[in-house]
A and B are shown apart, each in its own frame.
Chain A
Amino acid sequence: MPQRRILPGLPLSLGVTLVYVTLIIALPVAAVLLKAMSLSLGEFWNIVTSPRALSTYRITILCALAATLFNAIFGFAFAWVLVRYDFPGKRLLDTLVDVPFALPTAVAGVTLTALFAKNGWFGAPLASIGIEVAYTPLGIIIAMIFTSLPFIVRTVQPVLEELDPEFEDAASCLGAGDLDTMRRVILPLLMPALLAGISFAFVRCLGEFGAIIFIAGNQPLSTEITSLLAFIRVEEFDYPGAAAIATVMLLASLTILILTSLAQSWYGRHLTRS
């Protein structure tokens, strides 16, 4: 800023922020990478591509995709219902959205496990029709759906609220039916928000631990997720192994974050005055 600063406190606040961010956020993240770099490339590669590790990526990514897909549809419908309709109990439903995020993940984990266990409220009737949830990938998916739901609802909801009704009026005057308007007008306008919500929910699913480990079964090569493998490596004092896997998780999150922000700016390139 060329102009003289009038407001006070920049040196103090920026100083505190930089020191804190460096010590509390950047340093630990750097420590993971440093630890991983102490491995030779071959060692690193062997750890992160071991069959057990590969199987955790597979199960984590597939379950996260399934959960995110479900939440993309359900979360969108949830936001739509909350914004567009008035009905008794709407406030309550609106508050329920935040439960997964206010409830500790471990509590969610044990509760979902108890509910879906063979003798649980949902597990028993499901078992009688031959569906097993607890200790199967389906259980992982349900835990992921539970924890990541708020992110999609809460990113879509405000944008949907702000959506000018004139766009729909204009579309209908031009002869568009509801489906046309949805597909050609509403969805494209919500897409940046939906995209952000989806990507964030996906990242959270990839990294989730507490909600999943109780219900997952945790069988190596079948129902073991990546964050659990990193945890196990720590418990085994295999720190290089933990560092390598944590690095893979870290890079995956960062890559998705960066890709999302690129996709958003590409998508929004026309939406702001240039």
Chain B
Amino acid sequence: MATKRVGDQKLVRRLLIGAVAIIALFLIAAPLLAILSYALAGGAGRYFESLLTEDTLHAVKLSVITALIAVPINTLFGIAAAWAIAKFDFPGRRFLTAIIELPYSISPIVAGVAYLFVFGAQGLFGPWLQANDIKIMFALPGIVLASLFVTAPFVARELIPLLEAQGREREEAGISLGASGFQTFWRISLPGMRWALLYGIILCNARVFGEFGAVSIVSGNVRGETNTLPLHVELLYQDHNSVGAFAAASVLMLIAVFTLVAKFLLERRGVRRHAEGT
């Protein structure tokens, strides 16, 4: 429509677009360029050299392993939770949803501390774990658990509104045509949610790779052992190894850029957009 709406005056328009673009450029775009610029400050040779140090490669490996464990688990959880919450009515449904979303609002530091009090030496299960010689804190299991906590809502949060909007008719049609419960889920429900599912998985993955606060408490931060990539960035930065820190950071930035591109493409496919937790 050619209607004049509020704020359509040329001056207002230009002023607002200009202000927003400038602030976005300085606040958001500049850091991205800065990462590359600082990483390449010593030339491409030094960049790859610092990227290929043993400790950095180990950090990359640890982050990848964490993601390979945490993301599938939270994907399965997200599907189960969304299925139960969106397709059925039961008492406490809204409360359950609120609990699932809780990690969005809890500081990662609090999350890390919380796991310490469950699995740490002084924690609920600490004595028992020690007696049986099971190591969870300051080791891979602790890192995975903390990652599971902070990313627990990601997949569920994408699927619940979608499944609610889709209703139960498709599945009821499948069942009425003689499909088994599993067939109905596999052939009808899953294809219907695949893009939203992928969207949730990608966001979940980005957060697992990026999680810092919670992991820095539960990992013990041992160089070359329990250092995930973000922790390694911190370590190198504290060592005043700026090129090394930003080279490692550039790997994380690459994952972030991949996430944004995937998000953009999925949103063009009609997957609803929203930021984590909103």
Contact = CB atoms under 8 A, between A and B. Distances in A.
B16 A96 contact: no
A5 B256 contact: no
A1 interface: yes
Contacts, number: 316
A200 interface: yes
Contacts of A221: none
B34 to A, nearest CB: 5
B274 interface: yes
Contact of B24 (A5, A29, A96, A103): A96
Interface residues of A, number: 102
A27 B117 CA distance: 10
Contact of B6 (A8, A96, A181, A203): A181
Most buried by B among A114, A204, A227: A114
B198 interface: no
Interface stretch (B50-58, B88-96, B128-136): B88-96
**Chain A contact residues: helix, strand, loop or mixed:** helix
Given A103-B256, A146-B28, A200 B21 contact: no
Interface in A79-114: 80-81, 84-85, 87, 89, 91, 93, 95-108, 110-112, 114
B29 A96 contact: yes
Contacts of B117: 28, 31-32, 34-35, 239, 243
Interface of B: 1, 3-9, 13, 16-17, 19-21, 23-24, 26-32, 34-35, 38, 76-77, 79-81, 83-85, 87-90, 96, 99-100, 102-118, 120, 122-124, 145, 148-149, 152, 168, 171-172, 175, 180-182, 184-185, 206, 209-213, 216-217, 229-231, 233-234, 237, 242, 245-246, 249, 252-253, 256-257, 259-260, 263-264, 272-278
